[in-house]
């Protein structure tokens, strides 16, 4: 008698390990280069596509750096209820998702990651979950893991401007500004009205010492969102570094008119006033509370 050959069973892939993961979206993405590449961003995502979670960022992020404008809060993207899935599993995934969001909001990012990974095992088709894991890794200053998860989120939702933007932020934290700009450009193509993406791109160009393009991006960010205080701060700091003091006053007047009741704008205006009155002696913005670009990475950081 001939023996029957048993077919080898291929184990299913582990979604949260093999493919990059989730996102805990920010409302508008803002990057403040202040105090080192770890502080590359204070995020906030595109409102049309996602809503924000708070630790931050942003920055996000974010990681919130010293000597920078306070980052905008973020809130979680709601977990979608996929059709044709067992109701019990959907309910379990949603319950764990909300638990993970609460952990992230209280700054318990490592626990939040574990909770989001449980959600990913229950529902491996959710790009939001993967993006939230990526966001938590950014908060922990671990951009390599964040990149892996944002790539996974983009595999599931390739036309998400927010995911491209946050992936660019992760590359920026690593000091890979070419890769960051590629992602920001994709985000601009998909959502040309998101001012914070232009602000992020301006910072990447600035790190490449392409001041012309940096100024262009900051101006575009302000044109799209006249209330984006971070973009004013970045542009003013750059003007001061270049010795273009006459450009700063009109910019301050514009910020004052756009954000008359914003405490962050008031603090920035006071700092700029002090700088200009002192003749720009601290022209780099160091010690002023203005966003400061981090030092260029050394060979060991590349």
State which H helix or E strand residue 28 sits in. Answer: none
pLDDT tens column, 74-129: 445 555 544 455 677 788 889 999 999 999 999 999 999 999 999 999 999 999 99
pLDDT of residue 284: 45
Please state, in angstroms and rounded to a whole number, the distance separating the CA atoms of residues 170 and 172: 5
* Segment 26-65, tens digit of pLDDT: 323 333 323 333 334 433 333 333 433 333 333 333 343 3
pLDDT value, residue 84: 53
Domains of the chain, by residue range, sit at: 15-296
Q: What is the pLDDT of residue 86?
A: 65
> pTM of whole model > 0.85?
no
Report in angstroms the alpha-carbon separations of 9 from 18, 125, 166, 261. Answer: 18, 22, 37, 64
Are 34 and 140 in contact, with CB atoms under 8 Å apart? no
Q: Looking at residue 69, what is its pLDDT?
A: 37
Buried b (16+ CB within 10 A) or exposed e, 216-234: ebbebbbebbeebbbbbbb
Higher-pLDDT residue of 20 and 197 is 197
C-alpha to C-alpha distance for 136 and 200, rounded to whole angstroms: 19
pLDDT in tens, 212-258: 999 999 999 999 999 999 999 999 999 999 999 999 999 999 999 99
User: Is the pLDDT score of 287 beyond 50?
Assistant: no
The three-state DSSP-derived secondary structure of 70-114 is CCCCCECCCCCCCCCCCHHHHHHHHHHHHHHHHHHHCCCHHHHHH
- Compare 135 and 81 and report the one with higher pLDDT: 135
Residue 88: the pLDDT is: 73
CATH superfamily of 15-296: Tetratricopeptide repeat domain (1.25.40.10)
Instruction: Write the CB contacts of 191 (distance below 8 Å, at least 6 apart in sequence).
Output: 46, 48, 49, 161, 162, 197
Alpha-carbon span 131 to 116, nearest angstrom: 10
């Amino acid at each position: 008698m001939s023996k029957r050959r048993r077919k080898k069973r291929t184990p299913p892939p582990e979604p949260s390990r093999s493919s990059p993961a989730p996102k805990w979206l920010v409302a508008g993405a803002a990057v403040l280069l202040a105090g080192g590449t770890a502080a590359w961003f204070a995020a906030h995502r595109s409102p049309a596509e996602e809503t924000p979670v708070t630790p931050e960022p942003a920055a996000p992020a974010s990681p919130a750096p010293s000597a920078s404008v306070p980052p905008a809060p973020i809130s979680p993207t709601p977990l979608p209820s996929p059709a044709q899935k067992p109701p019990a599993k959907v309910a379990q995934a949603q319950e764990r998702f909300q638990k993970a969001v609460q952990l992230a909001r209280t700054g318990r990012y490592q626990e939040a990651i574990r909770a989001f990974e449980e959600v990913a095992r229950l529902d491996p088709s959710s790009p939001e979950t993967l993006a939230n894991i990526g966001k938590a890794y950014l908060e922990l200053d671990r951009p390599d893991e964040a990149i892996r998860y944002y790539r996974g989120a983009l595999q599931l939702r390739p036309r998400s401007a927010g995911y491209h933007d946050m992936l660019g932020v992760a590359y920026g934290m690593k000091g890979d500004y070419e890769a960051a700009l590629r992602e920001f450009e994709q985000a601009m193509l998909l959502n040309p009205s998101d001012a914070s993406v232009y602000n992020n791109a301006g910072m990447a160009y600035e790190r490449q010492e392409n001041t012309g393009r940096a100024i262009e991006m900051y101006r575009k960010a302000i044109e799209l969102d006249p209330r984006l205080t971070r973009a004013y701060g970045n542009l003013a700091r750059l003007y001061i570094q270049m010795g273009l003091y006459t450009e700063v006053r009109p910019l301050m007047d514009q910020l004052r008119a756009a954000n008359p009741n914003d405490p962050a704008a008031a603090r920035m205006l006071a700092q700029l006033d002090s700088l200009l009155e002192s003749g720009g002696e601290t022209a780099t913005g160091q010690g002023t509370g203005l966003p400061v670009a981090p030092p260029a990475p050394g060979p060991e950081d590349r």
